[in-house]
Amino acid sequence: MKIAIFHDYIGAIGGGEKLILTLARGLGADVITTDVNQDSVKKLGFEDVNIISLGGTIKLAPFKQISASIKFALCDFSKKYDFFIFSNNWGHFAARKHEPNVLYCQSTPVRVFYDLYDLYLHQQSFLASILFKIWVMLHRKMYENYMDHVDQIVANSFSVQKRVKKYLNRTSKVIYPPIDTNRFMFEEYGDFWLSVNRIYPEKRVELQIEAFRRLPEERLLIVGGHAEADRSSSYANDLKKNLPDNVTLLGNVTEEELVGLYARCKAFIITSMDEPFGMAPLEAMASGKAVVAVNEGGCLETVVDGITGLLVEPEVSDIINAINIISNEPFKYKEKCIQQARNFDEKVFLDKMKKEIEDVFSHKRRKV
C-alpha cells in the first residue's frame, strides 16, 4: 500500500515533526507539505524520508495559515497513493480529493480557533483584534467543512479526544505518540534542568523562567524555537529581553545534541497549557529523569505524580517547590521513569497505526 502523509509545514523542530517523520519512515510513506526547513529535517535525522513540497507559504500570519490551507485544498495526489494521513492543523484540507484517509490529531482541533481563542485575542491590538476575529470566523468554517471529508480521526491523547468531541462533535480513537526508547540513555544528574518546547504562548515558558529567576543556584536550558511568520514571534522576542543569568535559550539543536542534554540534565520541566500530549517529558523519562509538569492535559496521561515526577499547579511558587524536592533526590525516580517510557515505545505506535490504516482501508473497500 502506497501512503502519503499531509503535514502543514516542517519548520521549527517539535514533537509533531518528529512524530510525522517517524511515521513516514515506519510506513515507507511520503510526506507532502508546504514550507520545508531542511536543516530541521537534518537535525532530526530524517534525511532518508521523501518530502514533497507544494511550495512556500506567505510569511505573514494569518496568510501563512490560509495559504497552506489553499495549497492542500488544490493539490491532487489521488492517483499516486492508496491511502492518506493528515496531520496538524491544515493538512486535512486535502481530504475532499484524497481517500481513504485518517486524521492524526496532535494539537487539533486548531487551538487558536477554540480553546485558546481568548488567549490570542487578548494579545492583539484593537485593529489586529478585528482582523483576527474575521480570520477565525471564516477560516474556522472552512476548517470544519473539510473535516466532514475525514474518514477516521485518531487522537494522540484522551485530552485531545475530549476536544475533538467537544468542538467537532466527532468520535475518535486514541493512539499515543511514539518514543524511540532505544535512542535515550542515562549518563548523570548534571547541574542543569532541561525544557524542550516550541516558544509559543500556550507553552507558558515565562513560568519556567520566573521560577528559575527565583532559584539562582539552579540552571535551566530551554531547547526550541518558533516558525517564521508564526503567531508566537512577539511572545518569543519578549522572553529574550529579560532573561536571568541562569536561564539559556538554546534554540533548535540536533537530535544527537538533544539526546545528550536529556542524558546529562538533572531533571525536566514542562508548563504547557493543557498540553495535547507531550513527547518531550517521555523522552526525559526514557533517559531516567524526573519531570515537573503542570496538572493538565496530556501530562496527566504520562507523568505519574510522585513516581516519575511531580504534577503541580501552573503557579511559580508550586513549580519552585517541586524543583527543590526533585533536586534533592533526582535519582529517586530513575527506574520508574524508564519503565513508564517503555509503555510508549515506537513499535507500539506503528503497530496500532498500521492496524488503523488497514481497518479504514478495508471498510472503504467494502462500501465501494
pLDDT tens digits, 302-325:
999 999 999 999 999 999 999 999
pLDDT band at 336 (very low <50, low <70, confident <90, very high): very high
DSSP string for 306-356 = TTTEEEE-S-HHHHHHHHHHHHH-GGGGHHHHHHHHHTTBHHHHHHHHHHH
Which of 128-137, 182-191, 222-231, 338-347 has the lowest average pLDDT? 222-231
159 exposure class (CB count in 10 Å sphere: 0-12, 13-18, 19+): buried
What whole-number percentage of the chain has pLDDT above 70?
98
Supply the mean pLDDT for the chain: 95
Average pLDDT (164-176) is: 97
Mean pLDDT of 118-127: 91
Mean pLDDT of 139-161: 97
pLDDT at residue 180, rounded to an integer: 92
Sequence-distant (6+) residues with CB within 8 A of 344 are 176, 177, 178, 179, 181, 282, 302
Kind and range of the H or E element at 205?
Answer: helix 205-213
Examine the pLDDT at 227 and tell me if it is beyond 70. no
For the cut 90, the answer to whether the pLDDT of residue 367 exceeds it is no
Residue 354 has pLDDT above 70, yes or no: yes
Tell the CATH superfamily of the 3-178+345-367 domain. Glycogen Phosphorylase B; (3.40.50.2000)
Domain boundaries, the chain: 3-178+345-367, 181-342
Q: Kindly indicate the confidence band of residue 131, based on its pLDDT and cuts at 50, 70 and 90.
A: very high
Has residue 12 got a pLDDT over 90? Answer: no
Domains 3-178+345-367 and 181-342 belong to one CATH topology: yes
Quick one: pLDDT band at residue 368, thresholds 50, 70, 90? Answer: low
CATH architecture of 181-342: 3-Layer(aba) Sandwich (3.40)
pLDDT band at 52 (very low <50, low <70, confident <90, very high): very high
Task: Specify whether the CB–CB gap between 155 and 173 falls below 8 A.
Answer: yes
Predicted local distance difference test score (pLDDT) of residue 364: 80
Quote the cell numbers at residue 338. Answer: 524508564
CA 28 to mean position of chain CA atoms: 22
Amino acid at 308: T
Scanning the structure block, which residue is given the C-alpha cell 507559504?
A: 57
The Cα 284–Cα 299 span in angstroms is 13
CB 333 within 8 A of CB 341: no
On the question of pLDDT at 231 being above 90, the answer is: no
**Sign of the four-CA dihedral 272, 7, 4, 259:** negative
Least confident of 30-34, 231-235, 328-332: 231-235
Evaluate the CA torsion angle 203, 207, 212, 213 in order and state its sign: positive
